């Protein structure tokens, strides 16, 4: 055979080459495209001199091409069976002389395609031997201890069946690079065991064809293609899709690739795992070689059984890994359920948290907290990673074994990252970090030169060298397995369930507290209201008794009646204050813009009515306008000023200072005095109901005033706090938001 000339190679980019419609076949047979039901030939690819004694088959029926007897036999074979895309062998017959042919047929896109391939009687007699060899192969596979042994057995059996010089089992990775994982050979061709071939060696459209048509035979790399005539279907005007044809011609680039490799003939058998192309059984021979169709069918059977065995073993390994990881997930869920904070629960079971993603470090990240275990980046880097993850709002589970390549802008000090989003709105994530796993890859030739273009030549050429080329791969971690990713999805759903249940419980508790508070306020209001009359009666009747029985009462009786009246008055005042406190929580806010200077002036005038004759120095700064309920705020300011005067009564000169300043979102007001002060150890008691810092005998009051201040300010969305020192005065602060809460 003469190899095709450059002028015959019309290829500019092998990635886009339409290899499923080559428009030609290999010359060790011929092809007829038949119209049904007449079985008339509408297209043909045939060297008529070699096969049909110069007869042009176009437009003829099978009877006219092969004679009445053979034509009727073929027509009966073709008419009895419902053909599909899978080629099926028909009968073997002889043409003129001693030329033996095997008929192979399939139906595709409404056309019946019949191919005739050279064979021999000896090859056809091999069926019994093939059956026994296939049976032995299945038994050997079942006793294999692991996937590596499965692959070695398959390579050995295919070489025994076909007689090829070298048989490789070639496995694809996630990037479609292929690694030779098993090999059986003689010494005529070099070993490729362990070598990796770049994805560009088998372009995407070629991989698609391997998945559709599991077997491809190239008898010689130096063949001259036989063109299909006419080039397009006369009925449709489209080229013939030859995806399932056994004689389909292959890319000139691939033929050159074979010659560069030193391979004259080749055969490929696809290994399919769950519908995906797992790899190939690739056969090479130093000389031209035709393997009969029946033997190729047996090899296809081996490829299918190998795929099923690999699938079964991988599923079993996946099931074991899934069971192991689920036990760790169960412990994590138990720890989270037992903790008030799921984040703390996760970190508590640190070993299980790391193991569920085979990670060296992990982090639980929320807006207000960051918890880490193991080897992790610093907080700033983790926050940067979270910010990057949050940009992709659609991705809830993220994994990468090459983070520096995928996100170089992060300058991440980790190679692998897994992340699950608990809340993207609030940037809550669980992250796992994997360290770098440097690997040494031995390529079959420099992968950076997978193709080359010769000077002055516009055509694409494959690389010429397959010498071992060693590369050290850095910046990558071990990849995350499908089971690990599946478990991360499950863990995320479980965490979301716990967080949601906690949120629901908190919502129920909040509703219950709100209802209880409402009931308590109603009860307080009712009790306070009902107690006012009895205390007034006690005061009134004790005074009436003292007036009417004045002459009959002893000094002790009069003192007792005075104590009764005073206690009843104090209790009545306490009830009045409690009633006011209850009303303050129930009253509706009527907000409007109020000048705080005016409110302070009114409150100061009121409290000074009870401080006549005292020396009081007021130091009042300019106060802001605030958006408040004026009556409520006046009550709060009145309480603060009244307290300031009360606790400075023993000073020669009382000093009360009122100051104000702004933050970014608040007005802050301070009321300071030079009175008795208080111990900061008890500051938390100041704003509680009925809480007092001094004896009632020394300073009157019911202990509700500051509680009322806090309630009023809180209802306006503000804060209250205090500072003090015994005998060095006190400062009381409240804030009001600049905007409505």
pLDDT of residue 9: 39
Is residue 223 in a domain?
no
Q: Are 682 and 597 contained in the same domain? A: yes
Which positions ≥6 away from 632 have C-beta within 8 Å? 584, 587, 589, 712, 715, 716
How far is the C-alpha of 169 from the C-alpha of 176, rounded, in Å?
Answer: 15
From the list 92, 111, 95, 113, the residue with the least C-alpha distance to 54 is 95
- CATH number where 607 lies: 3.30.565.10
Full 3-state SS string of 107-176: EECCEEEEEEEEECHHHHCCHHHHHHHHHHHHHHHHHCCCHHHHHHHHHHHHHHHHCCCEEEEEEECCCC
State both tokens at 233: 């279907």
404-410-416 Cα angle (round to 5): 40
Classified as helix, coil or strand, 524 is helix
Is residue 598 in a domain?
yes
How far is the C-alpha of 83 from the C-alpha of 85, rounded, in Å?
Answer: 7
Which of 85-97 are b and which e, b meaning 16 or more Cβ less than 10 Å from the residue's Cβ? eebebbebbeeee
Q: Are 599 and 727 contained in the same domain? A: yes
Full 3-state SS string of 407-469: CHHHCCCCCEEEEEEEECCCCEEEEEEECCCCEEEEEECCHHHCEECCCCCCCCEECCCCCEE
Is residue 469 in a domain?
no
pLDDT of residue 670: 94
Full 3-state SS string of 566-616: HHHHHHHHHHHHHHHHHHHHHCCCCCEEEEHHHHHHHHHHHHHHHHCCCCE
| Region for residue 97 given its phi and psi (left: phi exceeds 0; alpha: psi -120 to 50; beta: otherwise) | left
- Please identify, among 553, 586, 619, the residue that sits at the C-terminal boundary of a domain: 586
Q: Are 569 and 611 contained in the same domain? A: no
Q: Other CB atoms closer than 10 Å to residue 274's CB: what's the count? A: 10
Distances (CA, A) of 207 to 214, 268, 443: 10, 11, 20
From the list 640, 524, 534, the residue with the least C-alpha distance to 578 is 524
Q: Are 660 and 608 contained in the same domain? A: yes
Q: Are 564 and 596 contained in the same domain? A: no
pLDDT of residue 6: 36
673 and 644 in contact (C-beta within 8 Å)? yes
From the list 309, 302, 30, the residue with the least C-alpha distance to 143 is 309
Helices (H), 587-718: 596-608, 630-646, 705-715
DSSP one-letter string for 308-367: HHHHHHHHHHHHHHHHHHHHHHHHHHHHHHHSSSHHHHHHHTHHHHHHTTT-SEEEEE-S
Overall domain count for the chain: 2
Domain extent at residue 578 = 482-586
Task: Tell me which residue has tokens 């074994």.
Answer: 401
Task: Tell me which residue has tokens 């802001």.
Answer: 624
Q: Are 592 and 733 contained in the same domain? A: yes
pLDDT of residue 623: 93
49 and 128 in contact (C-beta within 8 Å)? no
Which positions ≥6 away from 54 have C-beta within 8 Å? 48
Q: Are 568 and 668 contained in the same domain? A: no
Is residue 573 in a domain?
yes
- Please identify, among 542, 571, 586, the residue that sits at the C-terminal boundary of a domain: 586
Radius of gyration from C-alpha coordinates of the chain: 46
State both tokens at 151: 């692959």
662 and 672 in contact (C-beta within 8 Å)? no
Which positions ≥6 away from 310 have C-beta within 8 Å? 147, 150, 271, 273, 278
How far is the C-alpha of 118 from the C-alpha of 47, rounded, in Å?
Answer: 13
Is residue 513 in a domain?
yes
Classified as helix, coil or strand, 90 is strand
- CATH number where 500 lies: 1.10.287
Q: Are 571 and 607 contained in the same domain? A: no
Q: Are 568 and 652 contained in the same domain? A: no
Q: Are 593 and 733 contained in the same domain? A: yes
Q: Are 723 and 621 contained in the same domain? A: yes
Q: Other CB atoms closer than 10 Å to residue 425's CB: what's the count? A: 9
Is residue 41 in a domain?
no
State both tokens at 308: 């099923």
Classified as helix, coil or strand, 245 is coil
pLDDT of residue 701: 52
Is residue 20 in a domain?
no
| pLDDT < 50: residue spans in the chain | 1-12, 455-456, 458, 698, 741
Is residue 470 in a domain?
no
Q: Are 660 and 610 contained in the same domain? A: yes
């Amino acid at each position: 055979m003469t190899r095709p000339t450059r002028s015959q190679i019309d290829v500019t980019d092998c990635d886009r080459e339409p290899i499923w419609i080559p428009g030609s076949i290999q010359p060790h047979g011929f092809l007829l495209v038949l119209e049904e039901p007449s079985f008339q030939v509408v297209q043909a690819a045939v060297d008529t001199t070699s096969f049909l004694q110069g007869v042009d088959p176009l437009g003829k029926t099978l009877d006219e091409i092969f004679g009445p007897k053979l034509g009727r036999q073929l027509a009966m074979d073709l008419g009895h069976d419902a053909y599909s895309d899978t080629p099926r062998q028909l009968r073997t017959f002889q043409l003129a002389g001693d030329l033996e042919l095997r008929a192979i047929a399939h139906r595709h896109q409404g056309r019946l395609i019949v191919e005739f391939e050279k064979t021999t009687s000896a090859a056809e007699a091999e069926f019994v031997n093939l059956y026994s060899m296939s049976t032995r192969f299945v038994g050997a596979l079942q006793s294999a201890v692991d996937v590596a042994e499965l692959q070695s057995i398959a390579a050995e059996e295919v070489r025994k069946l076909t007689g090829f010089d070298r048989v490789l089992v070639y496995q694809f990775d996630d990037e479609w690079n292929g690694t030779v994982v098993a090999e059986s050979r003689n010494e005529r061709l070099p070993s490729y065991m362990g070598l990796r071939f770049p994805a560009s060696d088998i372009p995407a459209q070629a991989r698609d064809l391997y998945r559709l048509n599991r077997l491809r035979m190239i008898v010689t790399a130096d063949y001259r293609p036989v063109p299909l005539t006419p080039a397009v279907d006369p009925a449709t005007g489209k080229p013939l899709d030859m995806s399932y044809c056994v004689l389909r011609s292959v890319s000139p680039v691939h033929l050159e690739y074979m010659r560069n490799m030193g391979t004259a003939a080749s055969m490929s058998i696809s290994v399919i795992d769950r519908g995906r192309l797992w790899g190939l059984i690739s056969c090479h021979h130093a000389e031209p070689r035709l393997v009969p169709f029946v033997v190729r069918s047996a090899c296809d059977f081996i490829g299918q059984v190998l795929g099923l065995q690999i699938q079964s073993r991988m599923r079993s390994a996946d099931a074991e890994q899934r069971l192991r990881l689920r036990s760790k997930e169960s412990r994590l869920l138990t720890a989270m359920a037992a903790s008030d904070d799921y984040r703390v629960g996760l970190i508590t079971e640190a070993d299980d948290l790391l193991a569920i993603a085979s990670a060296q470090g992990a982090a639980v990240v929320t807006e207000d907290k960051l918890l880490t275990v193991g080897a992790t980046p610093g907080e700033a880097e983790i926050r940067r990673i979270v910010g990057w993850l949050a940009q992709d709002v659609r991705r809830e589970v993220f994994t990468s074994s090459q983070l520096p390549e995928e996100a170089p802008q992060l300058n991440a000090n980790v190679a692998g990252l897994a992340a699950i989003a608990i809340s993207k709105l609030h940037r809550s994530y669980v992250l796992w970090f994997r360290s770098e796993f440097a690997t040494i890859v031995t390529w079959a030739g420099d992968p950076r030169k997978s193709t080359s273009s010769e000077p002055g030549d516009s055509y694409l050429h494959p690389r010429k060298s397959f010498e071992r080329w060693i590369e050290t791969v850095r910046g990558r971690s071990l990849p995350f397995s499908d089971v690990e990713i599946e478990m991360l999805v499950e863990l995320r759903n479980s965490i979301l369930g716990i967080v949601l249940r906690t949120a629901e419980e908190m919502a129920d508790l909040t509703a219950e507290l709100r209802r209880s508070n409402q009931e308590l306020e109603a009860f307080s209001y009712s009790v306070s209201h009902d107690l006012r009359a009895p205390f007034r009666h006690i005061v009134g009747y004790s005074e009436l008794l003292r007036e009417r029985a004045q002459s009959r009462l002893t000094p002790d009786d009069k003192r007792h009646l005075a104590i009764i009246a005073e206690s009843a008055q104090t209790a009545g005042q306490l009830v009045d204050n409690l009633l006011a406190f209850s009303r303050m929580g129930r009253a509706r806010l009527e907000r409007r813009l109020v000048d705080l200077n005016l409110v302070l002036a009114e409150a100061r005038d009121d409290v000074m009515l009870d401080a006549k004759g005292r020396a009081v120095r007021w130091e009042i700064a300019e106060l802001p306008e605030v958006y408040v309920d004026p009556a409520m705020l006046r009550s709060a300011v009145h309480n603060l000023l009244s307290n300031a005067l009360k606790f400075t009564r023993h000073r020669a000169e009382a000093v009360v200072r009122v100051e104000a300043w702004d933050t970014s979102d608040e007005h802050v007001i301070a009321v300071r005095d030079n009175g008795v002060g208080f111990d900061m150890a008890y500051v938390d008691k100041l704003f509680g109901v009925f809480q007092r810092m001094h004896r009632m005998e020394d300073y009157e009051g019911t202990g509700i005033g500051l509680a009322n201040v806090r309630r009023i300010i809180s209802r306006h969305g503000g804060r209250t706090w205090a500072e003090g020192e015994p005998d060095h005065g006190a400062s009381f602060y409240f804030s009001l938001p600049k905007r409505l809460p």
